[in-house]
Amino acid sequence: MSADTPTPAARRLACPRCLRPASSCLCALARPTPHRTPVLVLQHPQEQRQAKNSVALLRLSLQHCEVVVGEHFAPAVLNAWLHRPGWDTRLLYPDVPAAPAPHLPAAPAGLPLRLVVLDATWRKSLRLLLAHPALAALPRLALVAPPPTRYRSIRAARRPDQVSTLEATVQALAQLEGPGFHAQPLLDAFDRFVQQVAARRGGAGTEAV
């Protein structure tokens, strides 16, 4: 049975909270993680179906995290998701030649930040950005430092150019919120999640996550 096409019986067995099959329920791994910057994840439909995807654990753990699944968004719908009055919304994305960051006047000082994160492969996230001018027009937040060394063992299990959405989001929140943001329990839980996925696939240490 393919993981992409669960039988009706398997769907019935899905956990009502994390919406995953009971055999891979993530709820026990969730670590409530206080933070003040709301996170909106735009998730490519292909990612939603991946057992190895990290966003379900992120959504279960962050107190203010919305996930919208889609590939093509109508401008009005996307604008409603992206812009909330009284908030300064930033897109977690580097300033790259293929999609340069916009030059914008600074937002009024004192506005609280919201973070928009794209959950897709590098190629698909770039396509998403280029196809949606409202996304490309958002001020960017780029990660300023590489992930801490202690995660190298997990990262080594992936393609070198790929950092999970969970790790990137956690790093961005740490960057924005400083030492008051305590992500270690969530990162430890993510470590266990990576090990569980690898163990289920019988390819521990070699699976791209």
What is the binding site for Zn ion (CB under 5 A)?
A: 15, 17-18, 25, 27
Nearest approach in angstroms of CB 20 to Zn ion is 6
Paired tokens of 143: 């990660």
Paired tokens of 162: 């790929």
Nearest approach in angstroms of CB 173 to Zn ion is 23
Give the rounded distance of the alpha carbon of 22 from its chain centre.
22
Nearest approach in angstroms of CB 24 to Zn ion is 9
Instruction: Yes or no: say if 120 and 46 are a contact pair by the CB < 8 Å rule.
Output: yes
3-state secondary structure of 69: strand
Nearer residue to Zn ion within complex by CB, 29 or 99: 29
Nearer residue to Zn ion within complex by CB, 27 or 77: 27
Nearer residue to Zn ion within complex by CB, 18 or 58: 18
- Closest CB to Zn ion belongs to which residue? 15
Nearest approach in angstroms of CB 16 to Zn ion is 8
Nearer residue to Zn ion within complex by CB, 148 or 185: 185
Q: Which amino acid is at 91?
A: L
Three-state SS for 8-68 is HHHHHCECCCCCCEHHHCCHHHCCCECCCCCEEEEECHHHHCCCCCCHHHHHHHECCEEEE
